[in-house]
Amino acid sequence: MATLTYVYADSTAVLGPLSQLAEPHSYDLCSVHAQRLTAPRGWEVVRLTPDLTTPPPSRDDLLALADAVREAGRPAVPVPSAAPDPAAPGRPRGHLRVLHGGED
């Protein structure tokens, strides 16, 4: 994995280590696309990452994946509606009403 950043003022595409922060004009690339990267005519590519192989999943990655699967498997709890049912007895009706205009 690598992060591609364009430096428009210098006509340069910089390919470096995977960034931890989202930046404008930056794009995360997989190893395959990072290795195949070419720049537009007249631009220079600066490669700051010597090894673009994808590292194996870490323990943190596996725990995060397990947590996400557990969360997705939980039954959805219905959220009660905040809007009153206008047809329910004893409840006030909406604030809009129809007025019939008189004939002139």
Alpha-carbon gap, residue 4 to 15, rounded angstroms:
5
Per-residue pLDDT at 98: 67
pLDDT (tens digit per residue) in 67-104: 888 888 877 777 666 665 555 566 555 666 666 766 65
Per-residue pLDDT at 58: 75
Alpha-carbon gap, residue 73 to 96, rounded angstroms:
43
From the centroid of its chain, how far is CA 91? 42
pLDDT (tens digit per residue) in 27-58: 998 888 988 999 889 999 999 866 666 667 77
Domain residue extents for the chain: 1-73
Which ranges of the chain does DSSP label H, i.e. alpha helix?
31-36, 59-73
**Alpha-carbon distances of 10 from 6, 24, 46, 49, 74, rounded to whole Å:** 9, 16, 11, 20, 51
**Alpha-carbon distances of 100 from 86, 97, 103, rounded to whole Å:** 22, 10, 9
